[in-house]
Structure 1
Amino acid sequence: MFRHIKRPLSQVGETDRALVRRSAALPRSPADRALMALTRSANKGRLWWVVAATIGARKGTGRRAAMRGLVAIGGASLTANLIGKPLFPRRRPAAEEVPEHRRLVKRPTSSSFPSGHSASAAAFTAAVAMESPVLGLAIAPIAAAVAYSRVHTGVHWPSDVGAGALIGVGAAFATRHWWPVHPDVPGDTAHPAEAPVMVDGEDMLALVNPRSGIDGQDPTEDVRYAWPKATIIYPDAHQDIRVQLAAEIERRGSVRALGVAGGDGTVAAVASVAAEYKLPLALIPAGTLNHFARDVGVRSMPDADAATEAGAAVGMDLGEVTVEGLGETERRWFVNTASIGGYPEMVRMREKLQDKLPKWPAAAIAMVRSLHKARPLEVELNGHRTSVWLIFVGNGPYIPKGFAPAHRPALDTGLLDVRYLRADVPYSRARFIAAALTNTLDTSHVYREYDVAELEVKLLNGNRRVATDGEVGPLGSRFLFKSQPSALALYRL
């Protein structure tokens, strides 16, 4: 059966030849040089790396689109160049098929079928369009020109280009298997909250983290534009943000709202103080990925500004964890997630590596090392004894279920999303990796998940640290996680 498929794909049909002749018959024009330059720029995906850097320069949708596009290119290139070409060898058009002024100096020598350039172009464009249809529409003409340039310069048959485009679109959609597209709708809440109208941020205390995000863009100017009358403070390296904020609130005595501009870790710290003091929170997203801001529907400074000027706020749940260990008890809040096991160790290792490496490479190296060194945790989960590699606790149920939770459809369920990886089954790590790669973790025996209002975790073999919203927390042997319904009033239209 494979031979019957392989034979027609390796041959060149009359339709291909006729289309190449029609392309070759086009009159000479400035477009010839432009298409030659464009096709060379797309060698090894260089063009798409430049486009990704451009659209990903600012946080938000553009950055997510760029990241998804590059991941899709990786899958498309692998499929087209390492699988498609060896399996379906086909000769390329002869140089004489096109006029001499169109011919590339260095003609490729690999199989003509399928077109790797077309696969990459289609993969990047389709993946970007999943995150931002507007950006996808803007890039589509460039992708189409790259695909056609392969025929125009005489290095591919039209069917090579069509097959490559199909592979690219398939690779883009495959990214959704492991990386679901975040719905462009805020999490729902049925609990409105009372919050004062904040004209220009008067009586607001705003904490700004100037080092948030991966590009070091200081969000101070955004805060000053939105709330010119607010009092701005910056994190003190010598004390905890919570302690610093609480001291400022006590000293001033007339604070009516808290503001924050930073990443999820900074937001969680300020949110915990806002909940403690029953103050509404205004948020300007300024982190790397801004998971919390995306879930609650505050996408930018104008969103935050409009909500505070209108005095519009909603009530949402917060997660709480009480840590007991080493003779001390400490309580922490979290807005997104908390975890015990491999993740806190990875965060600590990443922070050490960041002294010499950028955040993303440091995170990748830290993940590999922490998984290699991981040791099972003997625990009791709400009284049930088991052995686990790690425990994930979400502030509210996330979707989809499985290894890559991406979005919270509701912000006021009063529930925690509990997920953990078992270590008491044979070859659990290998089975976990296989299930993660095939996105079948939700049906795997090494994975468990459920929603509860409260979770007690007792460690039976020592102490571990808890991580909340990406920040490493205190060491303990007993952790009590609770959902605190509508504990936070958040400015949102």
Structure 2
Amino acid sequence: MSAWLGRTFRRVQQVDHAVTGAVARIPVTAVDRGMVRLTRAADRGLLWTVVAAALATREGATRRAALRGVVSVAGASFTVNVVLKSLIARRRPAAQLLPPARRLIRVPTSSSFPSGHSASAVAFATAVALESPRTAVVVAPLAATVAYSRIHTGVHWGSDVVVGAAVGAGVAMASRRWWPVRESDEAAATAVREVPMLVEGKGLVVLVNPVSGDAAYDPTDDIAAALPAATVLRTEPGRDCVEQLEEVLAARTERAAAVGAAGGDGTIAAAAAVALRNDLPLVVVPTGTLNHFARDLGVYDLREVIDATGAGEAVSVDIASVELETEDGARTHYLINTASLGAYPDLVRLREKWQSRWGKWPAFAAALVVVLRRAQPVRIRLNETWHDVWFLFIGNGAYHPRGAVPAFRSRLDDGLLDVRWLRADLRFSRTRAVLALLLAAIGRSKVYNELQVPELIVQVRDPEAVAADGEVLGEARRLRFSVAGQVAAYRRDEDNPRWAERPRPHHRRPFRWGA
């Protein structure tokens, strides 16, 4: 074995010297000065930080690419400079092998193997490719040039660059384990063919929440102008949205053709409840801050709403419900995304506060550490078994990835509840949960549990606050979660040739009609 390693190492050295010699024989040109400047610009990841900042100015996949790129560069840099270079010592190429115009004034003194610059460059390009292949077409040539510049300027052997590039690509690909890549922005769902065509919004009753999303923008007038035949309402402060919609529907002389809402997930959930009760299709206008349900549905702006309602294109979506038994009696609440008990609402609040700066999954990990540190265990019984948990998560539909942080739904009509919880009855359960999350092994940890069921009964030893779709519903001792039914939600059929010239927008912010 040692003899084989020795022969392999000598062959690599021969190739390295041959490559360096070939580069040394390249005539000196103005390109040499550019290579020196480029390789210096990539010191300490500065070049990639600047590129990431430029990419982050655009929302959607491009911004996610920038965030994943920065995280991957950090991981690759740590792996190469802190771990591998300290284990493997190798001399750098002799400066006199190259023409003076190509030499760096300050030659690095660390081990030559592997190349940290190459690792960072390829890590960034690979991460960008995972989120935005179009952007990677521009970034990849720059990354390849940076990697080659380490040979051109004589600070690395060819094998240093190859191994560094492999490490960088591996780190970026490994990020998918705890930061999943969403290949499609919209979840799958069964198409519903028999829904009314709401030309210019005729027959639609839509409730607009002007305080959702951008506080400086009221979308009411824009929606009224885009759907002139619709009945457009504004939410009334202090009044229940469900009651307001139900009252308007009951007062109409002609049955409404559809009901909808413009706002955040709480407002959309209210309209969904009314749609389910009255057997009406649902129109979703995303004007909230995060628009989780609209994103899963695949509706991003008012243009898509007009297209889908005018053409009568819709899909079937599940609406879940939770029956709460409180001191004031029993009541039912409908939910479109998720519900939770314990520390999970605080975890989500902190994650949403920090994710604009750090990205969703780094923010989630930081929020988990903070929340678990101050959380108190909750004693609950799931169906017939008692558990001590830090929090309980219930999703309307199966969330992905499995065995990790729930991120998105692949289907909107699977008829299942996604139930996940962290156990609090094991020694060092909080520390184990955080370490498992950071190591992308939460799914194999005994602290973590999950199941998928059509119905779930939860009993709490002491009254516990329950949250659904970002809103606190109150305290309850007993809860029954179930999939209450399905409604048809309008969504543009992207396979319809008539929409071919209307590309899907990548933004996530509330629209400004005509902007």
Q: Does residue 227 of the first structure (1) align with residue 226 of the second (2)?
A: yes
Q: Report matched runs for 1:242-321 at 5 Å.
A: 256-260=257-261, 264-265=265-266, 267-285=268-286, 290-298=291-299, 302-321=303-322
2: CA distance, partners of 1:84 / 1:217: 51
Q: SS at 2:489's partner residue? A: strand
Q: Does residue 377 of the first structure (1) align with residue 399 of the second (2)?
A: no
The farther-off stretch of 327-336 and 76-85 is: 327-336
Match of 1:146 in 2: 146
**Alignment check: 8 A CA contact 2:399 2:407 kept:** yes
Q: SS at 1:430's partner residue? A: helix
Letter of the 2:376 counterpart: R
Report the Cα offset of residue 227 of structure 1. Answer: 2.7
Q: Report matched runs for 1:67-466 at 5 Å.
A: 67-184=67-184, 186-190=186-190, 192=192, 194-202=194-202, 203=204, 205=206, 207=208, 212=213, 220=219, 227=226, 229=228, 256-260=257-261, 264-265=265-266, 267-285=268-286, 290-298=291-299, 302-347=303-348, 366-460=367-461, 462-466=462-466
**Alignment check: 8 A CA contact 1:271 1:488 kept:** no
Letter of the 2:160 counterpart: D
The farther-off stretch of 379-388 and 182-191 is: 182-191
1: CA distance, partners of 2:221 / 2:374: 43
Q: SS at 2:389's partner residue? A: strand
For the structure 1 residues 136 and 299, does the alpha-carbon distance in structure 2 shift closer, same or farther, using more than 3 Å as the test?
Answer: farther
Q: SS at 1:463's partner residue? A: strand
1: CA distance, partners of 2:467 / 2:27: 65
2: CA distance, partners of 1:25 / 1:301: 61
Report the Cα offset of residue 264 of structure 1. Answer: 4.3
Letter of the 2:457 counterpart: E
Q: Which deviations, in whole Å up to 9, do the C-alpha atoms of 1:307-341 show, x marking residues without a partner?
A: 22211112210121223334254433222221111
**Alignment check: 8 A CA contact 1:226 1:305 kept:** no
Match of 1:43 in 2: 43
**Alignment check: 8 A CA contact 1:195 1:489 kept:** no
Letter of the 2:188 counterpart: D
Q: Which deviations, in whole Å up to 9, do the C-alpha atoms of 1:79-111 show, x marking residues without a partner?
A: 111111111122223333333333334433222
**Alignment check: 8 A CA contact 1:223 1:261 kept:** no
For the structure 1 residues 23 and 231, does the alpha-carbon distance in structure 2 shift closer, same or farther, using more than 3 Å as the test?
Answer: farther
Letter of the 1:129 counterpart: A
For the structure 1 residues 133 and 27, does the alpha-carbon distance in structure 2 shift closer, same or farther, using more than 3 Å as the test?
Answer: same
**Alignment check: 8 A CA contact 1:334 1:468 kept:** yes
The farther-off stretch of 316-325 and 25-34 is: 25-34
Specify every segment of 5 or more residues in structure 2 that has no aligned partner in the other structure, as ranges. 494-515
C-alpha RMSD of matched pairs (Å): 3.9
TM-score of the pair, normalised by structure 2? 0.80
Match of 2:501 in 1: none
For the structure 1 residues 251 and 171, does the alpha-carbon distance in structure 2 shift closer, same or farther, using more than 3 Å as the test?
Answer: farther
Number of corresponding residues: 487
Letter of the 2:403 counterpart: G
1: CA distance, partners of 2:178 / 2:142: 27
**Alignment check: 8 A CA contact 1:295 1:407 kept:** yes
Q: Which deviations, in whole Å up to 9, do the C-alpha atoms of 1:391-418 show, x marking residues without a partner?
A: 1111112233212233433322222111
Match of 2:503 in 1: none
The farther-off stretch of 474-483 and 279-288 is: 279-288
For the structure 1 residues 235 and 115, does the alpha-carbon distance in structure 2 shift closer, same or farther, using more than 3 Å as the test?
Answer: farther
The farther-off stretch of 428-437 and 318-327 is: 428-437
TM-score of the pair, normalised by structure 1? 0.83
For the structure 1 residues 195 and 364, does the alpha-carbon distance in structure 2 shift closer, same or farther, using more than 3 Å as the test?
Answer: same
For the structure 1 residues 191 and 427, does the alpha-carbon distance in structure 2 shift closer, same or farther, using more than 3 Å as the test?
Answer: same
